Amino acid sequence: MPDLHPSQWHSAAAYPSSSSSPSPSSSSPGPHNEATDEVPKLPPFYSPRPIPVSRAISELDLNTISIGKPNSEFSAHQTPEPESELPGLVSPQFTPPSTPGIATPSSQNDPLQRLPKSVPVDSSTANGGCGSKKPKLLEKLPEVNCVVRARIPTTTGTEMFLHLYQNSEDNKEHLAIVFGNQIRSKSLDKVREGETEMDRLIRGAYTGRLFPGRTTSTLPAEPSGNGNVTAHAPLVRIHSECYTGETVWSARCDCGEQLDEAARLMSLPSTPTHSSGGVIIYLRQEGRGIGLGEKLKAYNLQDLGNDTVDANLLLRHPADARSYGLATAMLMDLGISELKLLTNNPDKVRAVEGPNREIVVKERVAMVPIAWRKGGIGGIRSEEVGGYLKTKIEKMGHMLQMGENS
């Protein structure tokens, strides 16, 4: 084709030579119909949006997805070949959880509107269902102070109140995630010297809801703070920070799944046998207390053939360096004296009660892995998490049986 002056480009494109071979780009496209446009089907990790809750991992066939070529053909009507198990890298969350409580896929046929089995516990007796170990307890509970509280709406429609705490033991910002508006912090509601009503509104020491133009921290006919203990034994989860399991989709542990499931259970409506709401105490003690850097070293040792306990010991750390005195003090500040504890760890039952049983755990609610409850459909399925759970049962005394159902 002869060279054209720039002024001739438009006309040449509009009237192509008849001798040129037709192509999709040179033929007349005709009227554009947006309804016929097809959006290329990309694998879930190319989308910033979370996978819908009702979509189970088992519906995906990773072998049909070309990760390196997102525009490759991927037929929605193609029937994937069945697989006995998914690759170990598969996490129940391909994208960061959109909100606690919904990230782990679930089946519509599951009894999601009820709590798992719970068992009565009594740490004051040898056979009270709290195991045989006696965890080391702090002689004195630390002092805690709720600095600020804020309402957090979630994509499921559930609201929670995030409480940020300071304490006398460390400089970390520990959190209490409170579902429902019946549980309040005593230290937050306490009137502080020199503060104005706007100061109280800004730090979250108000009753009811905030709205534009509100100027007082209390509403008419409402008391200032509760000052009383919670009337029922709420559902409580003591959760230690896990960056890898909660943020970067690690299938080495079930921490992210447990956090999501705890929030989901606390978002359930009230029933005759279950009161809605609850508290997740979120402690900043990454890697069972050894920190993220040491935890990553432990991961490398695990890849060399050690389990999660031996890896910590080889790094000259305890198998579990966590403590729960802060959790006890925070629960007391929230007016909770009795609770139902979401855990498989018997050490938590004794430790969260405090040195003088300032708090009493009435029931233990098991956290059964979703993959176990649903026969391998959904949840985390990987060689690493299987070994991790096995070690927690055999070496750390967690009260969970392989294959247990809720």
What's the length of the chain?
Answer: 406
> E strands along 92-143, which residues?
118-120
The letter for the amino acid at 73 is E
Displacement of CA 195 from its chain's centroid (Å): 35
The residue with tokens 């009137």 is 191
Distance in angstroms (rounded) separating the CA atoms of residues 260 and 370: 11
Q: Which two tokens stand for residue 148?
A: 């600020």
Question: How far is the CA of 401 from the CAs of 106, 185, 340, 344, 405, in angstroms?
Answer: 21, 37, 20, 10, 9
Displacement of CA 325 from its chain's centroid (Å): 22
State residue 179 phi and psi, 5-degree precision: -100, 125
Written as one string, the DSSP assignment of 291-302 is: -HHHHHHHHHHH
- Catalytic positions are 320, 322
The residue with tokens 């004794």 is 350
CA atoms within 13 A on the CB side of 240: 20
Q: Which two tokens stand for residue 369?
A: 């892995």
